[in-house]
Amino acid sequence: MLLADLRLQVLRANQEIARRGLAPHTFGNASGVDRSGSEPLVVIKPSGVDYATLTPADLVVTDLDGKVVEGALRPSSDLDTHTYLYREFPQIGAVVHTHSEFATSWAQAGRPIPCLGTTHADYFHGPVPVTDPLTAEEVAEAYVRNTGAVIVRRFRAEGLDPIAVPGVLVSGHAPFVWGKTPAEAVEHADVLEYIARLAFRSVLLRLGPDHSGVSDSGIPLYVSEHHYQRKHGPRATYGQG
C-alpha cells in the first residue's frame, strides 16, 4: 500500500474534522501531499464515505493532475481544488475543506473576517480573505478546479503568503485551509472556526447603540503585528522551539 504513513495522517485529519464538529455529515475532506519522490502524490478522502467507517486502505492516492494512482473508491469531489492548491502553493503539505458553521457564514455573506483581536493575529497575518464569486463560465467549465483558481487569484492579487495566511473563504461556499502537515491543517481549520465565531459576536456587539458604524474596525496594526511576529517571526518567543 502506497504512502502508509501519510494515509494514517490523512485518516486522522478526516476523523478530527468530524470529531470537532467542523464537517457535519460528510461536508468536508482532508488531504496530504508527499513531495519526496520524483512525482508528488496526494492522499485524499474518498467521496461521500462516512468518517467513522474510514480506514487507511479506503483513502485514494492520485497525482497532482488528479489521476488515481491507487485506490478502489472515487476520490473526493473536491479533489481538483486540492490539487490546484498543491500545484500553486508548493509550500503547503495538506489541505482541509470544511463547512464549519461560523466560517461558512462569513463565506456565504461574501465577507472577509477582519482581525479584531489577538487570537486572530496569532494565526492569521491580517484578515482572512474571501474570494470573488465564480463566474457562470467558470462554474460551467470546471467548477471544482476553478474554485482553486479563485483562491489562488485572491492570494496573488493581494500578495498574500499562504503560510502566513493559512486559509481562505470561498465566496458563497465555505472555507479551505492548509498547513505543512494534515494535523496542522486541522488545527488551522479549528482556529479559523473559533475566530470566525469570535468575530461574528464581536461585530454584533459593536453594532449596539454605542458602536454604530465601526463594526469591522480591527485592533491596531502594531498590536496584531506584534502578536503574529512573536509566534511566527524570526525572533519568535512563543513556545519551546
Which sequence positions are flagged as catalytic? 122, 238
Q: What is the 3-state secondary structure (H, E, C) of the chain?
A: CCCHHHHHHHHHHHHHHHHCCCCCCCCCEEEEEECCCCCCEEEECECCCCHHHCCHHHCEEEECCCCEEECCCCECCCHHHHHHHHHHCCCCCEEEECCCHHHHHHHHHCCCECCCCHHHHCCCCCCECECCCCCHHHHHHHHHHHHHHHHHHHHHHHCCCCCCCCEEECCCCCEEEEECCHHHHHHHHHHHHHHHHHHHHHHHHHCCCCCCCCCCCCCCHHHHHHHHHHHHCCCCCCCCC
